[in-house]
Chain A
């Protein structure tokens, strides 16, 4: 079946929802399809807790927010894009307020802001500890006001239709019927989020599998800076759910299997409150040197809150207590919490400029799926939800403008037939002897082990060989459910297939980048190397594996200096 919409948006998280409103406000003459593999409110963005950054008050400025972001990025962020981003951020906070967001308030009724790691001013706007949740609900509900936004929920996008460097639409499986649909469109926005499920242990929702990145990559659009993945020190076992910095802020200890507060060895002054990357690396060193605990869910360390006492835990950290009990079966009042460093953010993504344009005409990308780049080698907390708002809005407007000035481009029926063949005649009918879940788990543990917090040439080469072997083995999977309606086995196979391509790009890029910068830490090249590596990585798809190219970083006013805190 073919449907026509002027603009198709893939993804209904913060970026996709903001884009849909941006496009709808531009003109009520354009029709917009908001396509998502899950209902919008199920998107990963609802998990964001901490805050959303914007320079709103006296004492703060766009300039200061920009500098914090540039420094945080370890100078790999594009400075023109960062200034543009910081200058629009305040407007987005107010917009959301006008649309109903229940932001936390000061006593006199103004928006409250709180401090956040890496920011030199308390500029995190927040809605209690459910910031992303409330932003999502506000945008979703606001989007219901516009009659020209049509929602296609539980439609799984499988590919982009591009010919002559011009986007023509997308293909998607209607999960309910299992039928392949074509969304013919003048403009398309990819807002499919990050790729966190590449890793075994991750704070991400199950649905964050990098689909849009892989779809764009296969269609010839380069992925940028994919080797940069952020790790947070404290993910809760077994699930990886985030335990916020607050737990250590209130005085929690990190302990190894000898009952030592091991941070003494690595950061004797700041101890548990040293910067995220230092704490994460110290924890991995403890585990690698045999001082971790071993459990059915892998190795871990302990976060001990018992000495704070029940009263303080209830008063200051109620949600952490609740999460530990519900999701781990451990009450922190009585027992220490099992934790381990955890994959937390995908800095890289689809290559765009600061107007969210990809190299393909009519194709845009925003949010965690895209790489503008404002985060460079390391994103600051609160900047990613804001990135979704700012660039989601820009993408919506630009795509609408493009749609107003251009016609539909024809979609060849051969292309659609070929995609149907690929999905249903090939993939769905496979009866090999490999299990999808086994391949997925091996991929995830390979990423964890060889492309994690500490990297080195040898490990990365081993990792690359393993991923290539898994890609080969994937050809031989079997899908037992041959039905069409909600075939989650088929969609899971597609997700794993996407992730294998992305894993290959991450490992290969990490192997080539012989320096340490931000989140990318090479034990064999422990220093940042601006002479050789102050540049963005671009990975292009070829059937034999990624081909790499590099482009310069835009530097305007801030010359690179050592990143010290």
Chain B
């Protein structure tokens, strides 16, 4: 089995100060960056803190900046990085709380603000069964429903970095997911929420967010769709008046 000496340089926020710690250990083939961090915690420095749960790229816990790029630690093979020196830091554009743990409260609060649930004028009773939705209708929003809320896009987006009010790529993709769902009737509530000065018009469409997204949600594309929807909506409102 292939083995290699590697060095992890971890930028930590520890006791309210930034510092860098170097850890050297033997990595074997198959080991992910997350395995490496667990190895450090278990064998070298038990005080090192980071978030992790599923270790299979689905829970969104382990986003961090690895050699300058936002990635999921659990889905990144050490040997695929092409270097034996691995620099790790917490996600940017969020406040660091401890070591690699950064504050997601604002991220989740923005998600909540876009009303990410089906809004119906009237709900069907259970006895009447499911709403009918064809596979084609499902495909219209499916991609946007795959977001794992990992925050990598939040790290990559420069507008998020410079404008605290901006809803950001993940929350806007989530709004799009519901707006495109054939079962949803919440246009009147949701579109105004995502098209004011904190919403889709802020985005400059350079698509850094889509580039780092590990689930191919393509939030930049979602935001373009939102812009179109918002335009049509405001035109409709004009005529209704």
Which residues of A pack against B, CB within 8 Å? Answer: 38-39, 41-44, 46-47, 91, 94-95, 97-100, 102-105, 107-111, 130, 133-134, 137, 141-142, 144-145, 153, 176, 205-207, 237-239, 241, 295-297, 323, 326-330, 435-437, 441, 479-481, 483, 485-489, 492
Contacts and interface: CB of A to CB of B under 8 A. Distances in A.
8 contacts: A39-B104, A44-B53, A99-B117, A104-B135, A107-B135, A133-B148, A206-B53, A485-B97
B59 A109 contact: no
Contacts of B29: 329
B99 A486 contact: yes
B116 A141 contact: yes
B60 A98 contact: no
A188 to B, nearest CB: 23
A330 B59 contact: no
B53 A43 contact: yes
Interface of B: 1, 14-15, 28-32, 35, 41-43, 45-47, 49-61, 74-77, 79-80, 97-99, 101, 104, 108, 112, 115-118, 123-124, 126, 129-135, 137-138, 141-142, 145-146, 148-149, 178, 181, 183-184
A236 to B, nearest CB: 9
Contact of A100 (B118, B124, B135): B118
A98 B124 contact: yes
Contacts of A43: 53, 59
B40 to A, nearest CB: 11
A438 to B, nearest CB: 8
B133 A105 contact: yes
A144 B117 contact: yes
Given A142-B117, A237-B30, A110 B46 contact: no
A104 B79 CA distance: 37
A137 B217 CA distance: 15
A60 to B, nearest CB: 15
B35 A94 contact: no
Contacts of A480: 45-47
Nearest to A489: B46
A450 B123 CA distance: 53
B124 to A, nearest CB: 6
Nearest to A295: B1
B60 to A, nearest CB: 6
Contact of B56 (A91, A239, A481, A492): A239
A130 B129 CA distance: 22
Contact of B59 (A46, A91, A487): A46
Contact of B137 (A109, A137, A206, A488): A109
Given A153-B108, A328-B30, 5 more contacts: A39-B61, A206-B55, A207-B53, A436-B46, A483-B47
B130 A133 contact: no
A41 B63 CA distance: 14
B142 A94 contact: no
B53 to A, nearest CB: 4
**Smallest CB-CB A-B distances: 8 pairs:** A481-B47, A437-B42, A109-B132, A486-B98, A100-B118, A488-B49, A109-B134, A205-B53
B141 A102 contact: yes
A487 B46 CA distance: 10
Given A38-B53, A486-B97, A205 B59 contact: yes
B51 A42 contact: yes
A102 B53 contact: no
A199 B137 CA distance: 43
Contact of A327 (B15, B56, B149, B183): B56
Contacts of A329: 29-31, 77, 79-80
A436 B42 CA distance: 8
A183 to B, nearest CB: 19
Given A109-B133, A237-B30, A42 B53 contact: yes
A46 B54 contact: yes
B61 A42 contact: yes
Contact of B46 (A237, A239, A437, A441): A437
